[in-house]
A and B are shown apart, each in its own frame.
Chain A
Amino acid sequence: MNWLLEPFALPFMQTALAAAVLVGLGCSLIGVYVVHRRMAFIGDALAHTTLPGVAVAYLSGVSLSIGATVAGVVTAVLIGWAARRQQLREDTAIGIVFTGMFALGVVILSQSKTTRNLTDILLGNVLAVTPGDLGLIGGVTAVVAVVLLLLHKELELTSFDPSHATAIGLNPDRLRLVLLVLLSLTVVTAIQVIGLILTTALLVTPAASASLVTKRLSRTMPVAAGFAVVSALVGLLLSYHLRVPSGAAIVLTAAGGFIAVSATQQLILRRIAAPKPVV
């Protein structure tokens, strides 16, 4: 029991746990759409394109979160616009914006004398989350949850049948832009906790595990949130006791959860398919 409770007696670990759980909730809720609308590449791209915003903020002494948020939202709008207006395939548009912005971030950061902050951005540092950051993470998670709840039926319909949605007066492109902006906000908060390289994992893995358990969107979201919260908790514990980076520990726990669910499902399916002995 001590093994479980001892780490969270420390104030910075309590803040880290709250941050990891909130980020896990936000990522898993929007991650359900990321998985089922096949937007994993966009999620990864949004994480990488925040780098120039973070770099500019760092060099000019502004909050890194503000820099990342501005860069993320600008990228979301740019990707949506480029794919719609320029007759490009969306993955091509993402590829151009993603690599261009990341390269710009690397160039800007090369002007900095230290690489310590770059490591934090790339790999995350949940232990460095301040109470102010926690407020921002909580706010973003609340906004994501409320918008997804209020627009649930419209986002669901445009995800699987955009023709019917358009016929009844909805605009699937605008709803997709809403999703992209929510996704970019979520990604920005996740970068602080698990770093921009591993952010996609928290978007995709809990939602993918949940999609193996249930075939209803409304149930997939709470199940994915459950997987994410458990991954955050167990990951932080492993990180504390094994002295490994917290972001990597959280992601490895989530991946382990996916493997366990997948294996259990295969086992159940085999049992169902196996011929029953004749008595």
Chain B
Amino acid sequence: MTVAFHTHADPPLPYGGRRHAHPELFAAALTVENLTVGYPHATTPAVQSVSFGVPEGCLAALVGPNGAGKSTVLKAVASLLKPTSGQVLVFGLPPGRCHHRTAYLPQRGDIDWRFPVTVERLVLTGRYVHLGWLKWPRCKDYIIVHRTLDRLGLSALANRQIGELSGGQQQRALVARALAQGADLLLLDEPFNNLDAETRTDLIALFGELRDAKKTLVVATHDFDRPEDVFDRVVRLRDGCCFREAVPA
């Protein structure tokens, strides 16, 4: 699989005033240093002093039981949560500076799958970051969307309402959106939840193909007994703290 890098002009009215930035040379895809972060109105942080790094073109896993802080870390990297202390660097830059290179794929329960949008439209939302306010998707954006759908084997489902897809297809559609966005770092929150064994194997194969295309994937999961067999790097979290970072031989 080859994944094209989409060149684009800076949107004239970018969302949140965020301008596109080029990554630092030779920087790791993701560096997390002493990260402490919590949810608004919570009295204690969900994650405390977590540190780890993920090089470019790596398939990494954040593993741990429910409540370990896996999703919280991903949300801090995607700038959905503001760190209390510590530092997150995406390709050597703070998350907000490199936001279009980062795609956050939320847990499936966080998306309203009954909303009246098609698979094509869902993937098209990946292009919005390149458009900004008051600009409509153009022919070029639709071409990118259809190439991506084709690459992920979703072309036949393009006009289906998103709720009509199976769990595995929904996950593929979210990956397609990340690729249409041109993201280099994909943050996947529990993508294997409620998937059967066959679909899970397909998804792992897809992640491997993306890794081979130099994409970096960080997957929060609690679905594997031996994640070292599947992932290049495994970061184990427990009670909001990082207690082991392993690089399988």
Q: Name the A residues within 8 Å of B161 (CB-CB).
A: 215-216
- In chain B, residues 44-97, which have Cβ atoms closer than 8 Å to a Cβ of chain A? 75, 78-80, 96
Q: Is A215 in contact with B116, judged by CB distance below 8 angstroms?
A: yes
Whether B136 sits at the interface, judged by CB under 8 Å, is yes
Q: Is B116 in contact with A220, judged by CB distance below 8 angstroms?
A: yes
Q: Name the B residues within 8 Å of A36 (CB-CB).
A: 112, 114-116
Q: Name the A residues within 8 Å of B115 (CB-CB).
A: 36, 159-160, 217
**Residue in B closest to A219 when the chains form the complex, CB atoms:** B116
Whether B215 sits at the interface, judged by CB under 8 Å, is no
Q: Is A170 in contact with B111, judged by CB distance below 8 angstroms?
A: no
**Residue in B closest to A160 when the chains form the complex, CB atoms:** B115
Q: Is A168 in contact with B15, judged by CB distance below 8 angstroms?
A: yes
Whether B125 sits at the interface, judged by CB under 8 Å, is yes
Q: Is B134 in contact with A169, judged by CB distance below 8 angstroms?
A: no
Q: Is B102 in contact with A161, judged by CB distance below 8 angstroms?
A: no
**Residue in B closest to A161 when the chains form the complex, CB atoms:** B111
Q: Name the A residues within 8 Å of B131 (CB-CB).
A: 153
Whether A87 sits at the interface, judged by CB under 8 Å, is yes
- In chain B, residues 1-50, which have Cβ atoms closer than 8 Å to a Cβ of chain A? 14-18, 41
Q: Is A169 in contact with B15, judged by CB distance below 8 angstroms?
A: yes
Q: Name the A residues within 8 Å of B128 (CB-CB).
A: 153-154, 157, 168
Which of A166, A170, A220 counts the most B-chain CB atoms under 10 A from its CB?
Answer: A166
Q: Name the B residues within 8 Å of A160 (CB-CB).
A: 111-113, 115, 117, 162
Residue A164 contacts which of B16, B41, B100, B104 (CB distance < 8 angstroms)? Answer: B104
Q: Name the B residues within 8 Å of A169 (CB-CB).
A: 14-18, 96, 99, 129
Whether B199 sits at the interface, judged by CB under 8 Å, is no
Whether B227 sits at the interface, judged by CB under 8 Å, is no
Whether B169 sits at the interface, judged by CB under 8 Å, is no
A220 to B112, CA, bound (A): 17
Whether B110 sits at the interface, judged by CB under 8 Å, is yes
A202 to B41, CA, bound (A): 38
Q: Name the A residues within 8 Å of B146 (CB-CB).
A: none
Q: A167-B78, A167-B80, A216-B116 are in contact. Are A157 and B125 (CB under 8 A)?
A: yes
Task: Report the minimal beta-carbon distance from A212 to chain B, rounded to whole angstroms.
Answer: 11
Whether A150 sits at the interface, judged by CB under 8 Å, is yes
Residue A168 contacts which of B75, B99, B113 (CB distance < 8 angstroms)? Answer: B99
A220 to B114, CA, bound (A): 14
Q: Is B136 in contact with A153, judged by CB distance below 8 angstroms?
A: yes
Task: Report the minimal beta-carbon distance from A88 to chain B, rounded to whole angstroms.
Answer: 11
Task: Report the minimal beta-carbon distance from B49 to chain A, rounded to whole angstroms.
Answer: 24
Q: Is B106 in contact with A163, judged by CB distance below 8 angstroms?
A: yes
Task: Report the minimal beta-carbon distance from B81 to chain A, rounded to whole angstroms.
Answer: 10
Residues of B within 8 A of A (CB): 14-18, 41, 75, 78-80, 96, 99-100, 102-104, 106, 110-118, 121, 125, 128-129, 131, 133-134, 136-137, 161-162, 177
- List 7 A-B pairs, Cβ < 8 Å: A36-B114, A153-B128, A153-B131, A154-B133, A161-B111, A168-B128, A216-B117
Residues of A within 8 A of B (CB): 36, 87, 150, 153-154, 156-157, 159-164, 166-171, 211, 214-217, 220
